[in-house]
Amino acid sequence: MAEDCCSFQLISGDGVLNREGLENFSRTTNLSQRGVSYAVVAIMGPQSGGKSTLLNKLFQTDFRMMDAEDGRTQTTQGIWMAKAIGIEPFIVAIDVEGSDSRERGQGGATFEKQSAVFALAIADIVIINMWCHDIGREHAANRPLLKAVFEAMLRLFRLRKTTLLFVLRDQTKTPFERLELSLSGDIEKIWAEIPKPDAYKGTPLGDFFKVEITALPSYEFEEDKFKVKVDRLRQRFFHSISPGGLAGDRRDAQPASGFAFRAEQIWKTIKENKDLDLPAMEVMVATFRCDQIAKETLSRLSSDKTWLALRQDVQARKAPKFKKSIKSILEKTLSQYDMEAIHFKESVRDDKRKELETEALQVLYPAYAAMLRHLRSRALKFFKTRLIKKVKRASRVGFEASIDSTVQYAMDKFEKESRDVSISKVWDASAAKENLFSEIETTKYKAKNQIL
Ligand SMILES: Nc1nc2c(ncn2[C@@H]2O[C@H](COP(=O)(O)OP(=O)(O)OP(=O)(O)O)[C@@H](O)[C@H]2O)c(=O)[nH]1
Ligand SMILES: [Mg+2]
């Protein structure tokens, strides 16, 4: 296999999130480099409904599937994650433990609801896997599941426009159009029945979800036909985030470099049974990530070869083109930050950028200070040479005035030169200027005493 999908358990059956696995996944698959060019697909549905099998066939993943010989017992526990192979843009596939689990018994409902909220909060496309013969049946397992999905959506404080892709398994002889009609009716009915907060009373289902319905022949009894249709369905996941694509209507895509932290925070909030305020969470993730990016950028600056060379250069002598060089080092630093932080919330990103600029200027400051030292000693030397010439020609008359004009000249020269090497208002030469002035005054005083 050219690519490795490397499925891993993201959340255990006991609800513990595997942070190390998640960070490792983001790193090894290069997910974090993807900007917003990736989609998350989760699957939900009754236990032993062929969910893991479908994901594996669609995405060439290696989620654990039930061994047909073992009978229908629970296979997937908790929540699993893998990279879809050979699909662009990147797809994160999430396999969720089956709902209505016999093994979990009464306590299962909590995990089921929690995983529904998680899937809705994180996925752009949620596949609802259900048996074809369950359509229209009042007591089928999909009703509580759909209720859980809709209720979960209402808890997110956000119209995300998630795609709900209903995949009807073991397609019967009933014409697809009839199944579709019956299911759409059911969905609308369940949506109408669930209690909604005032803000969403009367909001149509279509504002929250893009609904798609498809059916598959039986994997067990019509394997060839199943394969053809699954291949066709797989094609729909290519360019899924482009307009018209399966997830083409999604809103507020969040940058992949914050994915791991975001998933962790979402799960933590769900476990603590707190409100999952997605907009607020996005600010939190943006703050965390922009801070991290700024720190990484700053540490890269400290060991940047061009910067180290300039710093060394300027210690020994006045560097030519100092301002141009140091300005380009600062600009490179800021543009590295911009590139990585680009998709995070603008206000957060801009605030952090300002902080980064201040800190970068602090890192670069010693080179400026060294430049000022060179300029100061040059100005003093210049003054001394002029002074000596004047002292030689000195007569009492006009001496004072002539010296004062030399002082002024040397000070102006320093002022202009120091301005020419500064790249920021906070890089200020006034202290150096005062020092220079007092050095000049001392020199002047000594010279005057010699003459008078
Ligand atoms: N009838 C039928 N059986 C299927 C289909 N797809 C998979 N199976 C079989 O159903 C059993 C369960 O498959 P899994 O893919 O493990 O099902 P699951 O939904 O992931 O199960 P849990 O993770 O335990 O909820 C296996 O024996 C599969 O071979 C299908 O389309 N039709
Ligand atoms: Mg499974």
Q: Give pLDDT tens digits for 326-366.
A: 999 999 999 999 999 999 999 999 999 999 999 999 999 99
Q: Are residues 237 and 297 in the same domain?
A: no
d(CA 98, ligand 2 centre) in Å: 7
**pLDDT of res. 356:** 98
Confidence band, pLDDT 50/70/90 cuts, at residue 105: low
Q: What is the mean pLDDT of residues 29-39?
A: 94
Q: Are residues 319 and 247 in the same domain?
A: no
* pLDDT of 403 above 90: no
Q: Are residues 300 and 251 in the same domain?
A: no
* pLDDT of 129 above 90: yes
CA 65 to chain centre: 32
* pLDDT of 4 above 70: no
Q: Are residues 421 and 371 in the same domain?
A: yes
The domain total for the chain is: 2
66 vs 341, 354, 424, CA distance in Å?
42, 54, 65
Q: Are residues 232 and 296 in the same domain?
A: no
| 261-273 confidence digits (pLDDT tens) | 999 999 999 999 8
Q: CA angle, corner 295, sides to 292 and 300, nearest 5?
A: 125
* pLDDT of 138 above 80: no
* pLDDT of 189 above 50: yes
Q: Which of 256, 273, 300 is the last residue of a domain?
A: 256
Q: Is residue 270 part of a domain?
A: no
Q: Is residue 220 part of a domain?
A: yes
Nearest to 50 by CA among 191, 196, 215: 215
Task: Give the residues surrounding ligand 1 with Cβ less than 6 Å away.
Answer: 47-53, 65-66, 68, 74-76, 98, 169-170, 218-220
Q: What is the mean pLDDT of residues 401-407?
A: 87
Distance separating alpha carbons of residues 97 and 12, to the nearest angstrom: 10
Q: Is residue 88 part of a domain?
A: yes
**pLDDT of res. 1:** 44
Residue nearest to atom 7 of ligand 1 (CA): 50
| Residue at token pair 């060294």 | 370
Angle between helices 51-59 and 223-235 (to 10 degrees): 60
Give the position, in ligand 1's atom list, of the atom nearest the Cα of 48: 21
Range 151-177 burial, b when 16+ CB lie within 10 A, else e: bbbbbbebebbbbbbbbbbbbeeeeee
Q: Is residue 264 part of a domain?
A: no
Q: Are residues 243 and 303 in the same domain?
A: no
From the CA of 48, the nearest ligand is 1
* pLDDT of 3 above 90: no
Q: Are residues 50 and 100 in the same domain?
A: yes
Q: What is the CATH number of the domain that holds 156?
A: 3.40.50.300
Q: Are residues 249 and 303 in the same domain?
A: no
Which residue range(s) make up the domain with 355?
A: 289-451
Reported as half-sphere exposure (CB side, CA atoms, 13 A), residue 242 has a value of 7
Q: Which of 51-60, 290-299, 386-395 has the lowest mean pLDDT?
A: 386-395
Q: Are residues 200 and 131 in the same domain?
A: yes
Q: Are residues 435 and 367 in the same domain?
A: yes
441 vs 139: which has the higher pLDDT: 441
Q: Is residue 275 part of a domain?
A: no
Q: Is residue 262 part of a domain?
A: no
Q: Is residue 447 part of a domain?
A: yes
**pLDDT of res. 395:** 61
Average pLDDT, the chain: 91
From the CA of 101, the nearest ligand is 1
**pLDDT of res. 72:** 58
* pLDDT of 450 above 70: yes
Q: Which of 137-151, 269-283, 298-312, 424-438 has the lowest mean pLDDT?
A: 137-151
Q: Is residue 440 part of a domain?
A: yes
